[in-house]
């Protein structure tokens, strides 16, 4: 494992250079592209016209069948009949024409009668009362007068006998004839009269006039006038016809070949229409199609660009950022390859192959090793890739069901692991994920409204549960590999280091019990203070447990372990005492390294005193008249590099100082805490970590609150008081 860690550390160090980071992204891009290459590669089929299909062929894409669409539009236009409109004004015009003919006959008779009366009056006035009778004009003369009142078209169409019959009829007969004829014309022309229906309309008019009470000559004339009046009133409207046809064409929906649609079934003949569809969707000639590969390339670039942007925006130091990037890349590549391998297996009889994929494995690993946000990002990436890899052999298709399943399963793994802190909890989270998988699978099959029997439902239940359990088992198996390889101090690893059975903790407890108690007290102070400012409280607690491990080399030289013994420093020169005290930091770091403890724990042991001054021995040496330098009585450092190390250093000093006080009050505790923090600030011990003054104020308040809870006033019971009196 040590060699593996060294190997990974070399790769991580190389990622500090832009060239090698680009190589890593190129590697990820190649893995993604090759994994999805076969799923987007257009399928080339060796099929001939009128041959028999050896397999059922489905469309890999959704595309419009323009030929069939145009055919449907032409059929729709052809089914639209010509539009004919009735011109109602024609009926009125014909009625007015016939009315004017009748009126012309009346006018001629009136004019002749007026002329005769004028002649009669003139004769009577000149012949002194002698009566002279003037004869009426001859019928031919009347006819001539009437024709003068009519148009040439009317005189050509209406026969002379008809006009003479009108001229010879009385006024009352003429009125009746006009009314009957006009009524018959209105009745007939109120209906549609197409070009080929004019004769039938005229016959209907004759039938209507046949039973009138007119004399024969006048009836014959009325019939002739009526037949002349009846005219075509229904005409073809080209603009309306074109508009109706255009509407019919626009109402035709484009005919589409849908993705996954069966083009031809196995052992069916490939007709001309099927052959044309196969050619349209690109299954006959796809050698020169590069669009799917361009799309896959762009798709890959989008995912990698998102990953690069997210990692680049992380507020972490460069070393940790590159570790996260390398770790994410390895888990992502492993999951993609696992997904691709599963896709090669044929679908189950009752279920889809994608449901067996351990979708929560990667998110659980990322959640434990990095953080929740990167785990969510990982889940989204895997869901998107799953829609392509599990596309059921339909080239270029997207299996949305698999994407939904992978995302839901991955998110469930993240959610149920949020408060889980050890490896057994990962297995419990896997059981919860199994339940979510089953619910998601059943929701998807219910949405399809398919018909399933009990055996099929049982199979879905088993495969969903198996996916969740497999995710947790694989995560548990791979977690130590990544932790050891990358030297990552995960939450689970920290929990394991808090076990009292750990050899180093047992060593402290048995060889330096006072130091162990001191470490536990400092851990309580540090954990609450770190959590108050958003730092890693668990790391602070574990670091406190081991920060004074160096004291086990010479436990009796430290005051917390000097129970019922004389202080050996009273007999030693200040220089020697200083060396012994200072050595516990470096000795502790060395012991932790020897036991392969995480670097963060080693750093806390080495940095918790920083370069602080051993004031007691420094002043003691000065009082002894020795020539001393302040630098010789300072810890070697380095100064605290992290918030956790700085807070542990403060809590360590505070705990030791408060322990030396007798019945401290809250005011005394607060004054002591703030003095120690101010002293650390003035001495520059916090210059190399990113603690802000606001955070220091929060740390001070948290430490005071914790100490007040420890040193709160207690009720003195009577027996205790009596004992104190006796002892006095």
pLDDT, one tens digit per residue, over 72-86 is 889 888 898 888 888
Model pLDDT, residue 727: 39
Model pLDDT, residue 720: 47
Model pLDDT, residue 126: 66
The Cα–Cα gap between 264 and 51 comes to 11
Q: Please determine, for residue 453, whether its predicted confidence score (pLDDT) is greater than 70.
A: yes
Model pLDDT, residue 560: 87
Q: Please determine, for residue 458, whether its predicted confidence score (pLDDT) is greater than 60.
A: yes
Model pLDDT, residue 721: 44
The Cα–Cα gap between 173 and 153 comes to 26
Q: In this predicted model, what pLDDT tens digit does every residue of 211-265 receive, in sequence order?
A: 888 888 888 888 888 898 898 888 888 898 899 989 988 888 888 877 778 888 8
Model pLDDT, residue 471: 93
pLDDT category of residue 439 using cuts at 50, 70 and 90:
very high
The Cα–Cα gap between 498 and 520 comes to 11
Model pLDDT, residue 287: 55
Model pLDDT, residue 348: 58
Q: Which tokens sit at 299?
A: 């798709």
Range with the poorest average pLDDT among 253-257, 677-681, 720-724:
720-724
Q: Which tokens sit at 461?
A: 């239940």
Q: Please determine, for residue 422, whether its predicted confidence score (pLDDT) is greater than 70.
A: no
- Across 43-112, the runs of DSSP E, i.e. the strands, are 57-58, 63-64, 84-86
The Cα–Cα gap between 158 and 176 comes to 19
pLDDT category of residue 726 using cuts at 50, 70 and 90:
very low
Model pLDDT, residue 419: 57
Confidence (pTM) = 0.62
CA-nearest of 633, 631, 635 to 621 is 633
Which secondary-structure segment (H or E) carries 518?
helix 513-533
Which residues have a Cβ under 8 Å from the Cβ of 558 and sit 6 or more positions away?
512, 514, 515, 551, 581, 584
pLDDT category of residue 495 using cuts at 50, 70 and 90:
confident
The DSSP output letter for 390 is: T
Contact criterion met (CB below 8 Å) for 261 and 61: no
CA-nearest of 368, 344, 374 to 356 is 344
The Cα–Cα gap between 146 and 159 comes to 12
Q: Which tokens sit at 605?
A: 């042991």
213-222, 314-323, 718-727: range with highest mean pLDDT: 213-222
Average pLDDT of span 114-127: 74
The Cα–Cα gap between 712 and 529 comes to 19
- Counting residues of the chain whose pLDDT is more than 90, the rounded percentage is 34
Contact criterion met (CB below 8 Å) for 385 and 412: no
pLDDT category of residue 395 using cuts at 50, 70 and 90:
low
- Give the torsion sign (CA, 326, 327, 329, 330): positive
DSSP, collapsed to helix, strand or coil, labels residue 274 as helix
| Mean of the per-residue pLDDT values of the chain | 85
Q: Please determine, for residue 42, whether its predicted confidence score (pLDDT) is greater than 50.
A: yes
Q: In this predicted model, what pLDDT tens digit does every residue of 340-379 receive, in sequence order?
A: 998 888 655 555 788 999 999 999 999 888 888 999 999 9
Q: Please determine, for residue 384, whether its predicted confidence score (pLDDT) is greater than 60.
A: yes
Range with the poorest average pLDDT among 41-55, 139-153, 579-593, 711-725:
711-725
Domains of the chain and any CATH numbers: 84-236 (no CATH), 291-485 (1.10.1760.20), 498-727 (1.10.3210)
Say how many C-beta atoms besides its own lie within 10 A of residue 208's C-beta. 18
Contact criterion met (CB below 8 Å) for 208 and 187: yes
- Counting residues of the chain whose pLDDT is more than 70, the rounded percentage is 91
Model pLDDT, residue 45: 65
Q: Please determine, for residue 60, whether its predicted confidence score (pLDDT) is greater than 90.
A: no
Q: Please determine, for residue 722, whether its predicted confidence score (pLDDT) is greater than 50.
A: no
Contact criterion met (CB below 8 Å) for 111 and 265: no
Average pLDDT of span 131-145: 76
């Amino acid at each position: 494992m040590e060699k593996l860690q060294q190997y990974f550390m070399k790769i991580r160090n190389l990622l500090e250079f832009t060239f090698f980071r680009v190589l890593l992204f190129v590697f990820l891009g190649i893995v993604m592209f090759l994994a999805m290459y076969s799923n987007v590669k257009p399928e080339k089929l060796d099929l001939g016209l009128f041959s028999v299909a050896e397999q059922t062929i489905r469309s890999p894409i959704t595309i419009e069948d323009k030929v069939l669409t145009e055919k449907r539009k032409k059929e729709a236009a052809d089914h639209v009949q010509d539009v004919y409109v009735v011109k109602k004004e024609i009926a009125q015009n014909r009625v007015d024409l016939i009315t004017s003919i009748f009126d012309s006959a009346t006018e001629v008779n009136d004019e002749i009668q007026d002329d005769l009366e004028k002649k009669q009056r003139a004769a009577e006035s000149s012949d002194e009362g002698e009566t002279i009778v003037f004869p009426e004009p001859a019928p031919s003369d009347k006819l001539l007068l009437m024709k003068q009142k009519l148009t040439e078209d009317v005189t050509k169409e209406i026969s002379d006998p008809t006009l003479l019959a009108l001229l010879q009829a009385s006024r009352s007969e003429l009125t009746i004839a006009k009314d009957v004829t006009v009524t018959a014309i209105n009745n007939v022309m109120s209906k549609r009269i197409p070009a080929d229906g004019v004769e039938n309309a005229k016959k209907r008019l004759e039938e209507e006039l046949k039973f009138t009470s007119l004399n024969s000559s006048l009836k014959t004339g009325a019939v002739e006038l009526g037949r002349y009046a009846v005219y075509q009133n229904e005409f073809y409207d080209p603009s309306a016809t074109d508009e109706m046809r255009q509407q019919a064409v626009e109402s035709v929906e484009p005919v589409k070949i849908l993705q996954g649609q069966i083009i031809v079934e196995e052992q069916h003949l490939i007709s001309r229409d099927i052959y044309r569809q196969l050619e349209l969707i690109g299954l006959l000639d796809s050698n020169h199609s590069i669009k799917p590969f361009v799309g896959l390339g762009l798709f890959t670039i989008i995912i990698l660009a998102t990953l690069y942007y997210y990692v680049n925006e992380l507020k972490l130091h460069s070393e940790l950022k590159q570790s996260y990037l390398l770790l994410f890349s390895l888990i992502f590549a492993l999951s993609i390859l696992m997904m691709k391998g599963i896709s090669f297996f044929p679908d189950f009889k009752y279920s889809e192959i994608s449901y067996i994929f351990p979708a929560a494995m990667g998110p659980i690993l990322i959640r434990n090793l990095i953080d929740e946000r990167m785990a969510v990002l990982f889940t989204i990436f895997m869901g998107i890739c799953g829609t392509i890899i599990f596309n059921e052999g339909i080239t270029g298709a997207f299996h949305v069901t698999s994407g939904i399943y992978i995302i839901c399963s991955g998110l469930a793994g993240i959610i149920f692991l949020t408060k889980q802190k050890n490896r057994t909890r990962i297995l419990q989270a896997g059981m919860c994920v199994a339940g979510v998988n089953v619910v998601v699978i059943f929701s998807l099959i219910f949405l399809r409204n398919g018909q399933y029997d009990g055996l099929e439902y049982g199979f879905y239940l088993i495969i969903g549960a198996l996916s969740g359990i497999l995710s947790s088992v694989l995560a548990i198996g791979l977690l130590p590999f990544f932790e050891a390889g990358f030297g990552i101090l995960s939450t689970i690893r920290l929990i394991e280091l808090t076990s009292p059975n750990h050899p180093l903790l047992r060593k402290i407890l048995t060889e330096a019990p006072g130091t162990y108690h001191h470490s536990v007290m400092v851990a309580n102070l540090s954990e609450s203070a770190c959590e108050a400012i958003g730092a890693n409280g668990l790391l602070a607690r574990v670091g406190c447990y081991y920060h004074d491990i160096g004291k086990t080399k010479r436990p009796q030289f430290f005051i917390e372990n000097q129970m019922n013994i004389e202080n050996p420093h009273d007999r030693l020169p200040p220089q020697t005492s200083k060396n012994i005290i200072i050595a516990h930091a470096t000795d502790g770091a060395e012991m932790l390294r020897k036991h392969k403890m995480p670097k963060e724990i080693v750093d806390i042991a080495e940095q918790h005193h920083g370069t602080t001054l051993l004031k007691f021995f420094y002043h003691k040496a000065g009082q002894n008249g020795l020539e001393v330098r302040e630098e010789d009585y300072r810890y070697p450092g380095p100064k605290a590099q992290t918030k956790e190390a700085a807070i542990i250093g403060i809590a360590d000093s505070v705990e030791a100082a408060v322990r030396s006080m007798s019945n401290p009050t809250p005011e005394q505790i607060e004054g002591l805490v703030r003095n120690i923090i101010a002293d650390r600030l003035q001495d520059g011990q916090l210059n190399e970590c990113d603690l802000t003054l606001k955070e220091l104020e929060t740390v001070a308040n948290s430490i005071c609150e914790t100490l007040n809870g420890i040193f709160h006033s207690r009720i003195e019971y009577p027996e205790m008081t009596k004992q104190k009196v006796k002892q006095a």
